[in-house]
C-alpha cells in the first residue's frame, strides 16, 4: 500500500508517534474546515482510519481514529526506519 508523506504524518500524529516512541493516543480532531480533509478521507477509504462526529464541537467537527490495520502499517514502517 502506497501512502503519501502527509498521510503517514497524519497517522503518526494521530497515534502520538510524532512526539513519542510509543502510542499514547488515537485521534485526529478537525474543525468544520481542515486542510488535511482529502488525506483523512483517503485514509478512511483505505480502511486505515474511521471517523465520527466530534461530540464537543457544534460546528461540524469530526474525530478520526486509526484502525488496527492503520496501526499495523505504521508499526511496520516504524520498524523499517530503525
Provide CB contacts within 8 A for 15, sequence distance 6+. Answer: 23, 24, 25, 26, 66, 71, 74
The predicted pLDDT at position 37 comes to 86
Q: Answer yes or no: is 13 within a domain.
A: no
For the chain, the domain total comes to 1
The predicted pLDDT at position 60 comes to 67
Give residue-wise pLDDT tens across range 3-42: 999 999 999 999 999 999 899 999 998 876 667 889 999 9
Q: Answer yes or no: is 67 within a domain.
A: yes
Residue in 65, 68, 5, 15 with CA at minimum distance from that of residue 39: 5
pTM, two decimals, is: 0.88
Q: Answer yes or no: is 5 within a domain.
A: no
Burial class (CB in 10 A: 0-12, 13-18, 19+), 67: middle
The predicted pLDDT at position 32 comes to 65
Instruction: Quote the DSSP letter at residue 54.
Output: -
Q: Answer yes or no: is 21 within a domain.
A: no
Give residue-wise pLDDT tens across range 49-65: 999 987 777 666 788 99
Amino acid at each position: 500500500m502506497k501512502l503519501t508523506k502527509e498521510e503517514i504524518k497524519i497517522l503518526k500524529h494521530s497515534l502520538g508517534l510524532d512526539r513519542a516512541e510509543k502510542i499514547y493516543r488515537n485521534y485526529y480532531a478537525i474543525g468544520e474546515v481542515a486542510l488535511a480533509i482529502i488525506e483523512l478521507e483517503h485514509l478512511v477509504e483505505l480502511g486505515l482510519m474511521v471517523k465520527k462526529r466530534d461530540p464537543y464541537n457544534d460546528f461540524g467537527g469530526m474525530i478520526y481514529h486509526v484502525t488496527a490495520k492503520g496501526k499495523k502499517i505504521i508499526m511496520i514502517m516504524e520498524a523499517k526506519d530503525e
